[in-house]
Amino acid sequence: MALPIKDLISPSQQLVASIPQETILTDVGSVKEPIVNTWENLHPLFIGSHPMAGTEKKGVDSGFEGLFKNKKWIITPTQNSDLNSVRTISELIKSMDCEICQASPKEHDEAVSLISHLPIFLASALIETAQTKNNQSLLDLTQKLAATGFADTSRVGGGNEQLGLDLAINNQINVLNSINNFKNKLNILESLIEEKNWDLLSKKLAEAKENRQNFIN
């Protein structure tokens, strides 16, 4: 099921009634706990899942050949899940040349709040920061000079605003924890710059450069 998160959490009776009980069912929603909680009570062969692929664009027309190739796809079975359904969904995912990951719905939501949900709000804040409305000449210049660095760091902030809202609503605690953690890290960098502690700042930047390789492969 590829539907907006709110429609997965509160599905229409027409949708539920249209799915045969013997059908093995999954979704591709970006949060898992509320979706899994809903569908495990509605369908005996439901397995939550989430492909870690896609772009900032939305809709069927945004898909393209090879979208999932060599991407990670996480499944979130629970103790109530049907084992044959887990195997079948796993085989389907492997057939699309994806790497399967497995975690609980709770673990999934905590992890993606850090590496998928948080960046949306950081990018939004970055764009708003650069949008210097009280200084038109500066705004004109920054808009003219913005290049690959700004494009890369702001990309997800220029996408589907409804998705960002749905993530905030349905993964609120994890998103807030991630934002608070980020603010603490940013405050540390701010203090190092204020104190002109260039050695420690350089060390922090080098550590981030090294650690990034553990996330991007």
Q: Are residues 113 and 204 in the same domain?
A: yes
Question: What is residue 132's predicted lDDT score, i.e. its pLDDT?
Answer: 87
- 35 and 126 part of one domain: no
Q: Tokens representing 52?
A: 């870690």
The whole-model pTM stands at: 0.91
Q: Does residue 85 share a domain with residue 20?
A: yes
Domain boundary among 38, 71, 104: 104
Are 58 and 42 contained in the same domain? yes
Alpha helices, DSSP H, located in the chain: 5-9, 13-18, 33-39, 83-95, 105-112, 118-130, 136-145, 148-154, 161-170, 172-194, 198-212
Name the residue among 131, 123, 111, 125 with its Cα closest to residue 156.
Answer: 123
Q: Give the separation between CA 119 and CA 106, rounded to whole angstroms.
A: 19
Does residue 122 share a domain with residue 208? yes
- In DSSP terms, which residues pair with 74 in a beta bridge? 50, 101
CA–CA separation, 11 vs 30, rounded Å? Answer: 16
Which H/E stretch holds residue 73? strand 72-75
Q: Is residue 138 part of a domain?
A: yes
Q: Which of 55, 80, 104 is the last residue of a domain?
A: 104
- Contact predicate 25/39, CB 8 Å: yes
Domain encompassing residue 188: 108-212
Domain shared by 85 and 124, yes or no: no
Q: Tell whether 217 is covered by a domain.
A: no
Evaluate whether residue 199 is within a structural domain: yes
Segment 140-159 shows an average pLDDT of 92
With tokens 């650069």, the residue in question is 130
Q: How many domains does the chain have?
A: 2
| 122 CB neighbour count, 10 Å cutoff | 18
CA gap 155, 6 in Å, rounded:
24
Does residue 110 have a pLDDT over 80?
Answer: yes
Instruction: For residues 165 and 133, state if they share a domain.
Output: yes
9 shares a domain with 34: yes
49 and 114 both lie in a single domain: no
Residue 183 belongs to a domain? yes
Residue 9: which pLDDT band, with cuts at 50, 70 and 90?
Answer: very high
CB atoms within 10 A of CB 120: 24
Residues 112 and 205 in one domain: yes
How many whole angstroms separate alpha carbon 17 and alpha carbon 24? 15
Residue 19: inside a domain, yes or no?
A: yes
pLDDT at 193 (0 to 100)? 98
Asked whether residue 26 is domain-assigned, the answer is yes
Residues 95 and 30 both lie in one domain: yes
Average pLDDT over residues 135-146: 95
Q: For 172-214, what is each residue's pLDDT tens digit?
A: 999 999 999 999 999 999 999 999 999 999 999 999 999 999 9
